[in-house]
Amino acid sequence: MSRLYRLLPAARRLRIADDTFQEAPFARSSAIRIAVPTSQHIRWQHAQAEATTSAAGADHAPQEQPDRSQKQIKYTSESYPNIQRDSRFKELNSDDVKFFKDLLGSESAVIDGVNQDALSDLEGFNADWMKKYRGKAKLVLKPDSTEQVSEILKYCNGNLLAVNPQGGNTGLVGGSVPVFDEIILNLSRLNKIRSFDDVSGVFVADAGVILEAADNHLAEHGHIFPLDLGAKGSCQIGGNVATNAGGLRLLRYGSMHGNILGLEAVLPDGTIVDDLSKLRKNNTGYDLKQLFIGGEGTIGIITAISILCPRRSQAVNVAYFGLESYAKVQEAFKEAKHQLGEILSAFELMDHRSQALYNKATGARLPLEAEHPFYCLIETSGSNTDHDSEKLNAFLEHVMGEEIVSDGV
């Protein structure tokens, strides 16, 4: 059966889901919750979410969370009183919890706050990393297979139970935590690395695999994951794809839309979409995976991905310099692209205020003694240390000689 005909049923279900979707006027579309029956015109629950300037800036390592007690965090529903829980979604009861416990089997796969006091166990799932948003979920489910995710969504869809998909919960805009009492479907146990082909560089893994674990696995084979984030020790690759995370390596390797070759996902009615292609040159049929990349779980939960991973560079160099204006930053960026070309792997901009805050918060000494309005960090990655160092030094000499850069190291 051709790929096109294999995916047509999924395409029809996506069309039906789109037809039944109605966005509430008070909510933003970037944080829509799952669990809408495809046969009825039921509005999906929404959560108000703040805008972010970049995916790289929206992720930070959770081990350094702000020191604020969960009880001090105001509920999101109280912070945004204009958002009301849709009464058509039912409330959890003991029968629902029993179904999920029987389905998942392991006690560690269910955190039950319906039949017992589990507030302390639910804290880390109900609040976001910044401790700005807090939900009221009473149940956390941790499936360990795509089939279990399918059965969960099928049951929730048939019983009008709202679901909040959650990965590593490392975002800063509240998109990974519930607003009301949605069921949290956490993918942390869906964490198997399925395969890696060191000829093609194609890596296939479950959505719950930690980004750093994926990169370490690839490093053993001389390859690199085409995404790097500050939260790599906690964030999950499924969440990275669902939010279309950009990260520090985007300049060199591009976005998720270009690196993902295929994925496996579960639609709200439990239908499994198997588009886990490993073929790079694939020009057949509709490219359905693009609908899930950056979709934040709104039309389905990603359970596995297939991604193209480049060879790991043998030579890495870093330069850090200060600039006097944003116009100078733009000039430096143009010169970096022109002179460093194929070895340029990162160009990160920071202003003085952010560096001062970092210095105040950590006490760490900044690379440059003098203060500048803007700072840039450049990274080069290549295969020849001498060649790359020569190009980088020539670039630095040029930008400092032309007074584009004021100081550097």
pLDDT in tens, 316-328: 999 999 999 999 9
261 pLDDT tier (thresholds 50, 70, 90) = very high
Q: Of 374, 380, 401, which Cα lies nearest the Cα of 392? A: 380
The 10 Å Cβ neighbour count of residue 357 is 10
Percent of the chain exceeding pLDDT 70 equals 83
Find the mean pLDDT for residues 166-173: 91
Asked if pLDDT for residue 28 goes beyond 80, the answer is no
248 pLDDT tier (thresholds 50, 70, 90) = confident
Give the list of residues 6+ apart from residue 4 with CB closer than 8 angstroms, or none: 284, 285, 286
Find the mean pLDDT for residues 302-322: 94
Structure tokens at 328: 């100078």
User: Is the distance from CB of 218 to CB of 309 less than 8 angstroms?
Assistant: yes
Asked if pLDDT for residue 169 goes beyond 50, the answer is yes
Asked if pLDDT for residue 51 goes beyond 90, the answer is no
Asked if pLDDT for residue 54 goes beyond 70, the answer is no
User: Is the distance from CB of 313 to CB of 388 less than 8 angstroms?
Assistant: no
Q: Cα separation of 53 and 212, whole Å?
A: 24
Prediction pTM value = 0.79
50-54, 107-111, 150-154, 170-174 — most confident range: 150-154
Q: Which has more confidence, 226 or 71?
A: 226
Structure tokens at 148: 């279990």
The torsion angles phi and psi of 266, rounded to 5 degrees, stand at: -120, 125
Asked if pLDDT for residue 56 goes beyond 60, the answer is no
41 pLDDT tier (thresholds 50, 70, 90) = very low
Strand-pair category, 163-166 with 183-186: parallel
User: Is the distance from CB of 101 to CB of 110 less than 8 angstroms?
Assistant: yes
Tens of pLDDT along 345-391?
999 999 999 999 999 999 998 899 899 999 999 999 988 888 999 99
The overall average pLDDT reported for the chain is 84
The torsion angles phi and psi of 273, rounded to 5 degrees, stand at: -95, 110
pLDDT of residue 107: 83
Q: Cα separation of 381 and 27, whole Å?
A: 42
Asked if pLDDT for residue 303 goes beyond 60, the answer is yes
Tens of pLDDT along 122-156?
999 999 988 899 999 999 999 999 999 999 999 99
Tens of pLDDT along 79-115?
999 999 999 999 999 999 999 999 999 888 999 998 9
240 pLDDT tier (thresholds 50, 70, 90) = very high
pLDDT of residue 71: 57
Distances (CA, A) of 124 to 73, 86, 120, 129, 134: 12, 25, 8, 9, 10
HEC per residue, the chain? CCHHHHHHHHHHHHHHHHHHCCCCCCCCHHHECECCCCCCCCCCCECCCCCCCCCHHHECCHHHCCCCCHHHCCCHHHHCCCCCCCCCCCCCCHHHHHHHHHHHCCHHHEEECCCCCCHHHHHHHHECCCCCCECCCCEEECCCCHHHHHHHHHHHHHCCCCEEEECCCCECCCCCCCCCCCEEEECCCCCCEEEEECCCCEEEEECCCEHHHHHHHHHCCCECCCCCCCCCCCCEHHHHHHCCCCCCCHHHHCCHHHHEEEEEEECCCCCEEEECCCCCCCCCCCCCHHHHCCCCCCCCEEEEEEEECCECCCEEEEEEEEECCHHHHHHHHHHHHHHHHHHEEEEEEEEHHHHHHHHHHHCCCCCCCCCCCEEEEEEEEECCHHHHHHHHHHHHHHHHHCCCCCEEC
Asked if pLDDT for residue 33 goes beyond 70, the answer is no
Rounded to 10 degrees, the C-alpha dihedral 247/248/253/255 comes to: 20
Asked if pLDDT for residue 315 goes beyond 60, the answer is yes
Find the mean pLDDT for residues 22-26: 34
Asked if pLDDT for residue 304 goes beyond 90, the answer is yes
Q: Cα separation of 3 and 274, whole Å?
A: 10
pLDDT of residue 247: 87
Q: Cα separation of 203 and 220, whole Å?
A: 13
